[in-house]
Amino acid sequence: MMIRFRMLKASVFTCLLSLIALASASAQLAPTHKVPRNEPLERYDNPPAPPRKIETSPRMISQFGPFTSFQVNVDANGNNILGDAANECPIAVDPTNGNKMTIAWRQFNDVTSNFRQAGWGYTTDGGTTWTFPGVLEN
């Protein structure tokens, strides 16, 4: 009986200690200032990076079993742009025709600049080639 009580006591102590540790841990600090509701969260505080020599390399084509993935953020000739910092966040596939897809992205023209623009593109050949209609404007 005494052994069970000690084990129960140790278990309760361990649980309480764990709860205290978790409660006192914080993954993120609270904001130190109020965020204004009538101002945009992002500002144009960094102009576009100065013109530079654009270097390219062949675009990435990845194969995994029967699946082939083609790099999308490429220049007009289909080449990878070295030193750019783009990301393609959303992609949508037409459920009635898997060859039709659309994407959207944010483009950071250079890794040293936070100047950004957003754009979109579409394909009708399963992603082998993409059309870029232009940037999204505010």
- Distance between CA 78 and CA 59 in Å, rounded? 7
Three-state DSSP class for residue 18: helix
- 118 or 87, greater pLDDT: 118
Per-residue pLDDT at 109: 60
- 100 or 19, greater pLDDT: 100
Least confident range of 6-20, 24-38, 124-138: 24-38
Residue indicated by tokens 């490429």: 74
pTM beyond 0.85, yes or no:
no
Residue indicated by tokens 């999204």: 136
Q: Predicted confidence band at 46 (pLDDT cuts at 50, 70, 90)?
A: low
DSSP state of 74: B
Three-state DSSP class for residue 23: helix
- Distance between CA 81 and CA 19 in Å, rounded? 50
Does residue 37 register a pLDDT over 70? yes
